[in-house]
Chains A and B, each alone.
Chain A
Amino acid sequence: MGEEFRIGTRLGGEEVTRLHAGDVVYLTGELFTMRDQAHLRALEILRGGGRLPFDLAGGTVYHCGPLVKGNKVISAGPTTSMRMERSEGELIERTKLRCILGKGGMGTSTLGALKRHGAVYMEYPGGAGALAARSITGIRGVFWRELGDPEAVWVLDVKDLGPCFVTMDSYGNVLRRKP
């Protein structure tokens, strides 16, 4: 078993190097939910030389389509990360995000980008939407809502969200054989 950490969601390169596959992490700070459509839109903007309306540098992307009612997050567990495999490496490279939270593991393209740019991939227990919602203290904002609520980018405030398991680290270590 690895070490246990309580860390923020904006990470420096040094902090990332302290994390290893097998560690358990509790996150406090802001998360940007991004799944299929948000990845595509972000890359389209960035490839065209534009800027995103939110700053991912050093930040944490959460593979999640939350269930939101009014200004309250009702249930918000992770979605399967592997669907974002074709976009993730480029998103890491272009935005310098440092942490991805999802479930199920990711592939070699993402692993390479984690290593090159100093980032980590973590997993939250799948299906534990009610449990995750308990650690979400508020909604700071929402972008691209026209993509539909599950696909929009929600900026969520979290306090001690965990257990998050580091399954791919910046050294190229992977906890399980294949996603």
Chain B
Amino acid sequence: MKPEIIAEAIRILETDIPPDVEKALERALQSEGGLSRQVIAAMLENIRLAREGGVPVCQDTGSLVFFVRTDMGCRELFNAIREGVALATESVPLRANIVDPLSRRNTGNNLGRWNPVVHMEPSHDGRTRIGILAKGAGSENVSAAAMLDPDQGSDGIRSFVTKAVENAGAKPCPPIVVGVGVGGTLDGAVTLSKRALMRRLDELSPDERGKELEEKLLQEINSLGIGPMGFGGKTTALGVKAEFADCHTASLPVAVSIQCWALRRVVIEQEGAEAVIRRF
């Protein structure tokens, strides 16, 4: 994998919004009124300008998170991702967002310890698939996780997620997309909640209980009335996506990754020598 392909995928990711998200915003424009309608109109105009001008949709070009499935050499791919991020920081350009947590000193090129974030798992079909998510901090700062007791079940999960969205209010730039991770260990649930954001809004959960959780949560969240940028309305979330893992018999981990309306995702698929960047 060449760093230039990673950098090109980041450029495509940062300067456009996936078609399903844009369509969902267009629907919200029809159903909202007043200031809420005005901000949705500004968001749509912003998407058009970013696409036409080839400039990042949002100045917060995010923390870059990579979901990799491969049976290539791990070291080679990891290095290509890091080089690609540094390259994209110059060429797209990206804002230099990564700092030391205490001194707050900026590394200048979006590289740092554990940044970018790279999740690796083996591929079983010989293909390499690299999903990339640009996660802005406004929405990341209101994401949350909890260790529930097993007897709290689905009701407890829904109540925790809805509460997190309510507490977030206008801060994460609603309408949001909500990623939910259930099960695993605490870190596993958090990773799942991010991975959930890589699913298209119209891609239903393959799991019946997952589908039900997503539908109920979307309904509950949109009853909160927060609305676009917190100005009130029916559209607080454009979608809810849930992912599951098995967990310890004593635990019920749940995590919620809140994503602003500017959901930026892309995938690189490689088979043999050919790499294709796909917006989806």
Residues of A within 8 A of B50 (CB): 75, 129-130
Interchain Cβ contacts within 8 Å, total number: 144
Stretch of A12-20, A43-51, A59-67 with 4 or more beta carbons under 8 angstroms from chain B: A59-67
Residue numbers in B under 8 Å from A130 (CB-CB): 46, 49-50, 53, 55-58
CB pair B46–A24 under 8 Å, yes or no, is no
Cβ A105 vs Cβ B39 within 8 A: no
Interface SS, B side: loop
B59, CB-defined interface residue at 8 Å: yes
Q: Which of B123-158 contact A (CB under 8 A)?
A: 136-138, 141
Contacts A67-B61, A79-B138 given; indicate if A127 touches B35 (C-beta within 8 A): no
Chain B residues with Cβ below 8 Å from A22 are 35
Q: Residue of A at shortest CB range from B95?
A: A67
Q: Which of A64, A79, A133, A176 meets B230, CB within 8 Å? A: A176
**CB-based contact B57/A75 at 8 Å:** yes
Q: Which positions 28-81 of chain A face chain B at CB distance < 8 Å?
A: 37, 64-67, 69, 74-77, 79-80
Chain B interface size band reads 35 or more
Verify if A151 is at the interface (C-beta below 8 Å from B): yes
Query: Looking at the complex, which one of A74, A125, A175 makes contact with B93 (CB distance below 8 Å)?
Result: A74
Known: A105-B169, A126-B260. A131 touches B46 (CB 8 A): yes
Docked complex Cα distance between A66 and B58 (Å): 9
CB distance from B178 to the nearest CB of A (A): 16
Q: 14 new A-B pairs (CB below 8 Å) besides A75-B57, A104-B173?
A: A37-B104, A103-B170, A104-B169, A104-B229, A105-B169, A105-B170, A126-B39, A126-B229, A126-B261, A127-B57, A127-B58, A130-B46, A147-B104, A150-B97
A/B interface sample: 9 pairs, CB < 8 A? A75-B61, A79-B138, A128-B45, A130-B46, A130-B53, A131-B46, A149-B95, A149-B96, A179-B169
Q: Which residues of A are at the interface with B, using a C-beta cutoff of 8 A? A: 1, 22, 24, 37, 64-67, 69, 74-77, 79-80, 82-83, 103-105, 123, 125-131, 133-134, 147-151, 163, 165, 175-176, 178-179
Q: Which 4 A-B pairs have the closest CB atoms?
A: A148-B106, A126-B173, A129-B59, A125-B42
